[in-house]
Structure 1
């Protein structure tokens, strides 16, 4: 089912640095030289929130709520507003905490989830995507090495 492939619904920047390996640099280069200008795919830790739903229809409904309020007008979704959507729609235990996953290192999350989390710009919301746990979208709140 292509669980190791890139999520097809992820935004165009989803290909920056194909992580998956043990190289924390993400680009295969050494240290600072392999770092991309925007830092996507090159950090070691990400702070993120997410919404998880078993059914694609439900995740689309949750995502539409964000689109109608912010994304369609080009605005960034405030974490507090994302948290409200997560509390309403997410089927993950983290939904009670507004979808907050806190800081997590590269290698902790499985396949597509890690790819999207580490390649979503800070402040941006990913497009919905499928993982082994269901359907998600992610708000990236920060990144650090």
Structure 2
């Protein structure tokens, strides 16, 4: 599976639509290099990202999960602690990783399909992406770390 075309821009924090991860039913793909963002934490240029995600088949369910984070954390401009994100993932995610709090662990550039990779590699450490659509459903991501 190669890079997917960009979908409609997601509501919220302006992240793009994305593909998917292996845990979310995706396959290896992607071209290896995303858009090179510039930032203090190597946004878009790092080699590995540690992330959690929530995957739901239906848009209404992902919006409900995201709203739960918004009301507890995001509306206040706070970063969502991984433990709190994990609770939401365990409650809402339909991905097998949901049982592990949505934890995808460390993954290299090129492992995740298309725009899922783009969102993961361009979300600042500690930040949560807006919901976005992939061929496997709807996601949002918490970026926990990045390294080269």
Q: TM-score, normalised by structure 2?
A: 0.81
Per the TM alignment, residue 22 of structure 1 is displaced from its structure 2 partner at its CA by 3.8
Q: Mapping of 1:45-124 within 5 angstroms?
A: 45-124=48-127
**Distance across 2 between alignment mates of 1:81 and 1:23:** 31
Which structure 2 residue ranges, 5 or more long, are not aligned?
Answer: 17-29
- State the structure with bigger RCO (CA 8 A, min sep 6), 1 or 2: 2
SS in structure 1 of the partner of residue 94 of structure 2: coil
Q: CA 1:13/1:52 → structure 2, altered by over 3 Å: closer, same or farther? A: closer
Which structure 1 residue ranges, 5 or more long, are not aligned?
Answer: 15-19, 28-34
Q: CA 1:5/1:69 → structure 2, altered by over 3 Å: closer, same or farther? A: same
Q: Mapping of 1:128-139 within 5 angstroms?
A: 128-139=131-142
**Distance across 2 between alignment mates of 1:107 and 1:7:** 22
Per the TM alignment, residue 12 of structure 1 is displaced from its structure 2 partner at its CA by 4.9
**Distance across 1 between alignment mates of 2:8 and 2:121:** 13
Per the TM alignment, residue 53 of structure 1 is displaced from its structure 2 partner at its CA by 0.1
Q: CA 1:113/1:7 → structure 2, altered by over 3 Å: closer, same or farther? A: farther
State the match for 2:24 in structure 1.
Answer: none
Task: Find the structure with the greater CA-based Rg.
Answer: 1
Per the TM alignment, residue 4 of structure 1 is displaced from its structure 2 partner at its CA by 1.9
Q: 1:36 aligns with which of 35, 38, 41?
A: 38
